[in-house]
């Protein structure tokens, strides 16, 4: 039975619900207040959420496994349950921080007076936090469905390029099929349990407790895995991401990158504990997709002339590594996958911010039109470089320890061939990211760069974004132990549910 700690035992108020509601209330305020107070209201609301997320880390007991800050009640006949453990507790603060940085970035851009744009950013933040905190399968699915609304509105109203409508059609096709598949999988979980005498429920704790009574385990795995694979995105379910990255907005992309990690989180939350036998059975197939995705994404990234598309294919390559870690069925690889998801999310957001700031100066993200930007844009160049080094899992960045754990776990489960493939993929990532840095910031400029107006004092805001992201990456990189402690207990607990791997690897190292 999973240990359950109620919110009232450690917090003065229902913290997780507050973290979800504050951005949504701020969104409503943004739609109502006068235009001159709009962004100020949004930034203050996002700042409150960052403070609440830090309070969450402060009161979370990393030494005790189980669900913390649990809230549970029934509303309109549906169960509402939220809680945090080692798998999701760090994603919530990261979402809050990137949401605030996206609003600061918006102050520099042409969207600073766009009420709908700012409201959608706040709604997106609230939706993601709600999804990460959800401990009810249908509640989680509902948040994923709502996520479509800000994505569509932000792309149509504030995206770049003339093909935004076609891009949205592609996104709706992929996400729609994924939502249908995951919905059917969740329905089979709930109704399958009820067929064995239990009351109909989609509560995660109940499903986990009675998972042995759930029939059609393989079918449920296939449905859920397909739905989550589109969201990660994993090869070959990835075609929508490069299009959305190219034609979407940079401000929304920063928060959206955490939304992509919702797919990895869903694997860990809803597949490993609920259908572990099928996960072990299908692991060779999933690992094969991960290996193909690593090299496919890296090689396609090397062929791009658009910086946004390059970063999108980098995400696809990294997703292959993360999936291999999740399906290595040991504590080390799982801890590495979670921590690496966080590091990749923050680092890739940093690169998107830097490219977005370059776009504000040059109105292009194509390599042939860029070059020689380092001297005049040193803070932006530093942001890109530190973020790229973190993505390459260099020592001194949080990805280094995370990748070490992931590779160690992959060696134990899959052998040296898979581990070497992961390392080669990382070498390719270093190649295309450093090459991109050279073409944008070091190479001789190929066109005149219009000086950026100082009317809105963007330099201070640019440096603030650089300072926060680089500070987080370097600070956590040199001192990852506290962050691993958040994850460690839950990774060990999940390992007890694998029929064939139960406690095997942890015991080997004790």
pLDDT tens, residue order, the chain (510 aa): 567 888 888 888 899 999 999 999 999 999 988 877 888 899 999 999 999 999 999 998 888 888 888 888 876 667 789 999 888 999 999 999 999 998 888 888 777 777 888 899 999 999 999 999 999 999 999 999 999 998 888 888 776 767 788 888 898 999 999 999 999 999 998 888 777 666 778 888 888 887 777 788 889 999 999 999 998 889 898 888 888 888 877 666 666 777 788 889 999 999 988 888 888 889 999 999 999 999 999 999 998 888 889 998 999 999 999 999 999 888 888 888 999 999 898 998 899 888 888 887 777 788 888 887 777 788 888 999 999 998 888 888 888 888 888 999 899 888 889 899 999 998 998 889 999 898 888 877 766 555 444 444 467 788 888 899 999 999 888 888 888 888 887 777 776 767 666 655 444 444
Q: Which two tokens stand for residue 258?
A: 């955490």
Spatial CB neighbours of 400, under 8 Å, sequence gap ≥ 6: 393, 394, 477
**DSSP 3-state helix, strand, coil percentages of the chain (rounded to 5)?**
75, 5, 25
Whole-angstrom CA distances from 478 to 22, 291, 458, 471 are 32, 29, 30, 11
Beta strand ranges found along 3-50 (DSSP E): 4-6
Interatomic CA distance for residues 324 and 419, integer angstroms: 10
Q: Are 233 and 139 in contact (CB under 8 A)?
A: no
Q: How far apart are CA 61 and CA 52, in angstroms?
A: 16
Gap between the Cα atoms of 394 and 62, Å rounded? 27
DSSP secondary structure string, 155-202?
Answer: HHHH--SS-HHHHHHHHHHHHHHHHHHHHHHHHHHHHHHHTTTSPP--
C-alpha to C-alpha distance for 26 and 504, rounded to whole angstroms: 48
448: closest CA among 384, 361, 318? 361
Please name the residues in contact with 194: beta carbons below 8 A apart, sequence gap of 6 or more.
200, 201
DSSP summary character for residue 268: I
Residue 61 makes CB contacts below 8 A (sequence gap 6+) with: 5, 10, 68
Phi, psi (deg, nearest 5) at residue 300: -65, -35
Q: Which two tokens stand for residue 470?
A: 């680089």
Report DSSP letters for 354-373, one per residue. Answer: HHHHHHHHHS--BGGG----
Give the Cα separation of 89 and 91 in Å (integer).
6
Q: What token pair was written down for 234?
A: 């994993």
d(C-alpha 205, C-alpha 6), whole Å: 14
Tokens of 60: 């979370």
Q: Could you tell me the strand order of the sheet in which 67-75 lies?
A: 4-6, 67-75, 78-84
Give bridge partners of residue 71 from the DSSP assignment.
82
3-state secondary structure 282-300: HHHHHHHHHHHHHHHHHHH
Give the three-state DSSP class for 67.
strand
Model's pTM, two decimal places?
Answer: 0.90
- Pairing outcome for strands 78-84 and 67-75: antiparallel
Residue 5: both structure tokens together:
């700690």
* CA distances in angstroms from 286 to 231, 236, 279, 335, 336, listed in the order given: 15, 11, 9, 19, 18
Q: Which residues does 253 contact at the CB level (< 8 Å), separation at least 6?
A: 245, 308, 349, 352, 356
Copy the structure tokens of residue 52: 């609440």
Beta-strand ranges (E) seen in 190-238 are none
Beta carbons of 168 and 240 less than 8 angstroms apart: no
């Amino acid at each position: 039975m999973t240990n359950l700690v109620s919110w009232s035992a450690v917090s003065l108020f229902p913290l997780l619900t507050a973290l979800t509601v504050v951005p949504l209330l701020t969104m409503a305020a943004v739609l109502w207040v006068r235009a001159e107070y709009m962004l100020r209201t949004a930034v203050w609301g996002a700042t409150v959420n960052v403070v609440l997320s830090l309070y969450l880390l402060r009161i979370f007991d990393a030494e005790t496994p189980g669900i913390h800050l649990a809230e549970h009640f029934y509303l309109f006949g549906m169960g509402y349950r939220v809680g945090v453990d080692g798998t999701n507790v760090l994603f919530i603060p990261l979402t809050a921080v990137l949401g605030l940085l996206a609003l600061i970035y918006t102050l520099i851009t042409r969207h600073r007076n766009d009420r709908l744009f700012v409201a959608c950013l706040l709604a997106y933040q609230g939706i993601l936090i709600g999804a990460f905190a959800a401990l009810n399968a249908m509640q989680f699915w509902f948040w994923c469905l709502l996520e479509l609304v800000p994505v569509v509105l932000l792309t149509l109203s504030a995206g770049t390029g003339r093909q935004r409508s076609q891009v949205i059609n592609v996104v709706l096709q992929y996400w729609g099929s994924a939502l249908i598949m995951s919905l059917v999988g969740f329905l089979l979980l709930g109704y399958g349990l009820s067929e064995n005498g239990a009351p109909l429920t989609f509560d995660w704790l109940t499903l986990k407790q009675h998972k042995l009574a759930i029939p059609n385990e393989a079918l449920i795995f296939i449905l859920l895995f397909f739905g989550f694979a589109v969201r990660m995105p994993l090869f070959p379910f990835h075609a929508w991401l490069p299009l959305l990255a190219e034609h979407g907005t940079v401000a929304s992309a920063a928060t959206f990158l955490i939304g992509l990690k919702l797919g990895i989180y869903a694997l860990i939350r809803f597949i490993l504990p609920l259908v572990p036998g099928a996960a072990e059975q299908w692991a060779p197939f999933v690992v094969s997709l991960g290996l193909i995705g690593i090299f496919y994404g890296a090689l396609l990234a090397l062929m791009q002339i658009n910086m946004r598309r390059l970063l999108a294919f980098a995400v696809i390559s990294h997703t292959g590594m993360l999936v291999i870690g999740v399906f290595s069925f040991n504590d080390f690889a799982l801890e590495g996958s979670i921590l690496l998801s966080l590091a990749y999310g923050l680092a890739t957001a940093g690169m998107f911010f830097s490219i977005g700031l370059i776009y504000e100066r040059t109105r292009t993200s194509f390599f042939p039109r860029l070059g020689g930007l380092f001297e005049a844009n040193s803070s932006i160049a530093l942001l890109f470089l530190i973020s790229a080094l973190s993505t390459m899992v260099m020592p001194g960045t949080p990805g280094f320890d995370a990748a070490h754990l992931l590779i160690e776990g992959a060696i134990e489960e899959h052998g040296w061939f898979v581990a070497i493939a992961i390392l080669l993929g990382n070498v390719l990532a270093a190649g295309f990211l450093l090459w991109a840095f050279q073409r944008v910031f070091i190479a001789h400029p190929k066109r005149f760069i219009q000086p950026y107006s100082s009317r809105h004092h963007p330099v201070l805001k640019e440096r603030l974004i650089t300072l926060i992201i680089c500070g987080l990456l370097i600070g956590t990189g040199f001192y990852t132990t506290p962050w691993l402690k958040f994850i460690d207990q839950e990774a060990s607990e999940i390992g007890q549910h694998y029929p064939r791997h139960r406690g095997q690897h942890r015991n080997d190292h004790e």
